[in-house]
Structure 1
């Protein structure tokens, strides 16, 4: 096995995937393809209420996998709502692993303007949260100045360490391996040792990928089509991205790195792609 193939096998060990509350049928269709314990992130969408996300977390647990519910800071209307959300997750055994993000709203709907304010609320520890994932932005963020991203990241990691909460970074998905690897190297140069999961777009229609990428400021249509070698009506997989990532990934420089698949509603298709790739 060559170096790139060896690296890809390392990166593919223990991958995580993402779903919405409405994706439970997709999860049911994919469950035979996913190893026990697979981490499944459950997004927090404005169109899905807590009961739907709790049902998804129950399904993840029922299929022998690990739910990672999302908390969207700016969507929380009160401290009581955060407390009640965490209590409900704890009741069903789904509070140990949490992903905390600022969320989509430009203005906070309550007292939490960002993910750091959730982390420092003290409520995570109260409800037996053990592991917290936060977001990394290798290609920047359309709503956050670049010079603010590093102090924001280090502040969140310091707050998690102070509370004895295990930290993990999950990056936004991208299409170019070079800026991702450069960003990870810069993270390590700052003395940050937390595990990093690189966001990977699962197989999906290029037009759908473009919609998500444009919203997040990740890529242009021309660049996306060029990177995947496909037209906008085609379906693209992450093969080229992962090949480039594995080729230039150096464990001694980049540290502990894994993969997180954004499924865009295609959880079953992504699980099948992972299974086929690992053969």
Structure 2
């Protein structure tokens, strides 16, 4: 007797994770529970230096995962700094895939005002980059108009294709599947066929998740909180993305929307997120048998 995989199990296959340069000990702690070859993004934070970022990406590779270092355009002070970072990544054999993002500073610290400008330089390929991830915002951005976001996404996708690079779209996290599905449909209607990795908060404390939602301008109304499965009566409790993942998988199943996977923001820790994924798949498989 053969068992068909549930849509949730299919969606969860080949998920990706996120870590900071300071999370190498957390990576080592979680390593056994993460599937070999998993993509792990390494952030580019203002309070971390070059060595920390490169060493974290190297640790990901040595742990038998696929590192995806971030490049924060507005944090780069010069072309030379970009080239130094890429050179160090190449030396560490972790430069094949990168995620280019605008970054937090409202005022650029150097010559690049957004991620599109970094991609257009053509510098990435000179240092061994073959794949570029770019940002997507299903629920919009608190500081950028919607039409500007769509224009930027199209521009970056076109530039990536013209340069013969592999493109991926990585979305901001959210708590409601409805805007995610509508946004994916709009991406496909614009002729952008890149794989999409939908941002999902890993299991974490309810209070922490709501804090991140406010910080990043993600909608967190009572209705959406209820859909996601928060308990506002228990702010000291924890919440996992079970309901979000199951609903998203059901909506994507048979919808013909191309390759869609999950990317976990590990607010509650890498180990907790990896364990949640393993347990969730086990529960789905048990229910299907």
TM-score by length of 1: 0.96
Corresponding residue for residue 33 of structure 1: 33
Distance 2:196 2:261 in 1: 6
CA positional deviation for 1:263: 0.2
Counterparts in 2 of 1:1-279, with a 5 A limit? 6-220=6-220, 222-223=222-223, 225-226=225-226, 227-230=228-231, 231-264=234-267, 266-279=269-282
Distance 2:82 2:6 in 1: 42
Stretch of structure 1 that moved more, 184-193 or 70-79: 184-193
RMSD (Å), alpha carbons? 1.6
CA positional deviation for 1:225: 4.1
Distance 1:113 1:220 in 2: 29
Q: Secondary structure at the match of 2:256?
A: helix
Stretch of structure 1 that moved more, 5-14 or 105-114: 5-14
Distance 1:87 1:129 in 2: 11
Cα displacement string for residues 35-69 of structure 1 (whole angstroms, at most 9, x for unaligned residues)? 11110000111111111111111111111111100
Distance 1:9 1:278 in 2: 6
CA positional deviation for 1:221: 5.9
CA positional deviation for 1:223: 4.6
Distance 1:234 1:11 in 2: 26
CA contact (8 A) 2:21 2:42 kept: yes
Distance 1:37 1:131 in 2: 16
Distance 1:75 1:245 in 2: 34
CA positional deviation for 1:250: 3.4
Distance 1:269 1:223 in 2: 26
Q: 1:2 to 1:185 in 2, by over 3 A?
A: farther
Distance 1:155 1:271 in 2: 34
Q: Secondary structure at the match of 1:40?
A: strand
CA positional deviation for 1:157: 0.4
CA positional deviation for 1:265: 5.3
Cα displacement string for residues 147-172 of structure 1 (whole angstroms, at most 9, x for unaligned residues)? 11111100000000111110000110
CA contact (8 A) 2:175 2:225 kept: no
CA contact (8 A) 1:18 1:41 kept: yes
TM-score by length of 2: 0.92
Count of aligned pairs between the two proteins: 278
CA contact (8 A) 1:198 1:260 kept: yes
CA positional deviation for 1:228: 1.9
Q: Secondary structure at the match of 1:134?
A: strand
CA positional deviation for 1:248: 1.2
* Unaligned 5+ runs, structure 1: none
CA positional deviation for 1:220: 2.7
